[in-house]
Copies of this chain bind each other. A is one copy, B any other.
Amino acid sequence: MDFHALQQRLRRFANERDWQPYQTPKNLAMAMTVEAAELLEIFQWLTPEQSLNLSDDQRRHLGEELSDVLLYLVQIADHGGVDLDAAVERKLAMNAIKHPPKKS
């Protein structure tokens, strides 16, 4: 996934629909949270085991909600001035320090 190319596509998509005035990081963060909760809804009454064995329909639905979250996520990074690839590497390094492995 080329985040920069995707961000350009999404900017063009928004421009063609006059959505720019709505595209503040604040609004996009709300929209991403709404989509995260729609994803959560898929699992809300499932047992942990059932969540590991999704039907084809549930998996397709999950793919749509994951995409919705990701599309807002890359737009927040774009409009908020964050280099997402660099931020992820930095976070992985922080996590490795915060949570030392149990095993050698």
Contact = CB atoms under 8 A, between A and B. Distances in A.
Give how many copies assemble into the complex: 4
Given A1-B1, A52-B24, A52-B79, A90 B63 contact: yes
Nearest to A15: B103
A26 B51 contact: yes
A60 to B, nearest CB: 8
Interface residues of A, number: 70
Contacts of A79: 52
A82 B63 contact: yes
11 contacts: A18-B102, A24-B51, A25-B54, A33-B33, A37-B37, A47-B48, A63-B77, A63-B83, A66-B73, A68-B91, A71-B92
